[in-house]
Every structure is written in structure tokens, then in C-alpha cells.
Amino acid sequence: MKLAFRHLLTGGVFIIALLAAAAWGYTQGLVATQPIEPTVLSGADIGFRMHGRRGDAPVGELVVRVDGQWKAVQFAYTVKRITK
């Protein structure tokens, strides 16, 4: 009976340590977005509104100029069948 309890306790400690290591490893990969003043990097009528940075990568959205104002883009797409 004592041996079974020791095995159960050892298994429980191992599982808790494994979960703690997984949680620590997961948080190491997350990089918070550093917010900045929204800026539009643009050509004549199409641009990219940058809201912040995540590491070295810019974070933002694609925008187009409509009636002199920058508007966010929504993409429309359809699924094409491979066979007819």
C-alpha cells in the first residue's frame, strides 16, 4: 500500500512539473505589441496603417484612400472548386 502511494505521489509531482515547464516555455514565445501613434505608410491610394510593433515586425492593417480618407480594407473571396 505504501509503495502504491509513493508511485502516485511521484507521478503527480512529475505531471505538475511538466505542466509548469510547458507554461513557462509558452510564455517565452509571446512578445507583447508595443503601441505607437497610428501612422499610414502609403503610396497614392493604398497604404498600411501601423498601430505598433511586435518585436521587429510592424502590426497594423491594409488601408485604401476613399474620398480623401483612409479606410480599412475587407477582403472578399470565394472558394473555387477543383473539379466541375
Q: What is the pLDDT of residues 30-72, one digit of tens each?
A: 677 888 888 888 888 899 999 998 888 889 999 999 998 999 9
pLDDT at residue 84 is higher than 70: no
CA 71 from chain centre, in angstroms, equals 23
pLDDT category of residue 1 using cuts at 50, 70 and 90: low
Look at residue 62 in the predicted model and tell me its pLDDT: 92
Structural domain containing residue 42? 32-75
Are both 25 and 54 inside the same structural domain? no
Total of domains in the chain: 2
Mean pLDDT of 71-81: 81
Question: Residue 52 corresponds to which cell in the numbers above?
Answer: 505598433
Q: Do residues 36 and 67 share a domain?
A: yes
Cell triple for residue 5?
A: 502511494
Q: What is the pLDDT of residue 25?
A: 84
> Could you write out the DSSP letters of every residue in the chain?
-HHHHHHHHHHHHHHHHHHHHHHHHHHHH----EEEEEEEEESSSEEEEEEEEETTEEEEEEEEEETTEEEE------PPPS--
